Amino acid sequence: MKLTAQDKRLIAEAKRAIFKASPVRLANTGDVGAALVTSKGRVYRGVCLGFYSGIGSCGEYQAVGSMISNGEKEVKAIVAVWYDRKTGRYTVIPPCGKCREMLWEIGKKGRDTEVIISATQKVPLRELLPHPWGKILAVQPGAFRGSRG
């Protein structure tokens, strides 16, 4: 699917998250920004967190956490943008597998979330994640408890 004007504004919001986090200067933090828009039209942003201790989290997780903290759970569209400090360039990137699974599990409409995967294209989440882990657990609840703690 082609990007809309709203999608391009969402990309700008993800870049804005990176810019706002830039003064913080922690380990590997803030080079990926994410922005999402909910079914109610509200925009939430987040940046990746990375620490020398090995603890970290993607920008999409932070944006979703902000959304949930504000009482919402339906993501209409989401984007992640990486900032290359060496070149000063921004690149739209698709979400990692962990983020895809999280988006799938958030709400019943998760599989219809529009995911902006490049500066020119978006796809429904179900195309990026045809066989989600959460779907397996829904069909066979408790099937993996013994092996996964």
Look-up: residue for tokens 């045809």? 130
Find the domain containing 27 and state its range: 5-148
Write the pLDDT tens digit of every residue in 72-117.
999 999 999 999 989 999 999 999 999 999 999 887 777 899 999 9
Q: Report the CATH number that the domain containing residue 103 is assigned in CATH.
A: 3.40.140.10
pTM of the model: 0.87
Q: Is the pLDDT of residue 59 over 80?
A: yes
The count of domains in the chain is 1
Q: Is the pLDDT of residue 27 over 80?
A: no
Write the pLDDT tens digit of every residue in 108-149.
777 899 999 999 999 999 999 888 876 666 665 555 554 444
